[in-house]
Amino acid sequence: MAIIFGHLFDGSATFIGIDYYGFYEEHLLPDILINAAGTAFVMIPLKIAVVLLAIYYVEKWYREEGLGSKKRTTQYLVLKLVFFILGFGPGMRDTILPAVL
């Protein structure tokens, strides 16, 4: 749940920053999708889809190969922590940035 929250936080902060504060997207694919949709709201369902797909494959990998192995369990937990940080970190930055500028 924390991973999903972190990425929804990032998607929402991106949406607000782009649509209300005039920020722009730095990455090519999200920029193309935002311009095609006409709003950055498209980032929220995009983030949900990508994160759920990533979590599904990590869980599938862990169930198939990782059960019982301490090394695999550690890799699994670190990977999930990295997924959380990759969502929550940019979300926090995008939330604080308008207050600083």
pLDDT of residue 46: 93
pLDDT exceeds 70 at position 68:
no
Residue 47 binned pLDDT confidence (cut-offs 50, 70, 90):
very high
> Hey, is 26 helix, strand or coil?
coil
Measured CA to CA, the distance from residue 23 to residue 99 in angstroms comes to 13
- Least Cα distance to 45 among 30, 62, 57, 60 occurs for 30
User: What is the average per-residue pLDDT within 27-49?
Assistant: 94
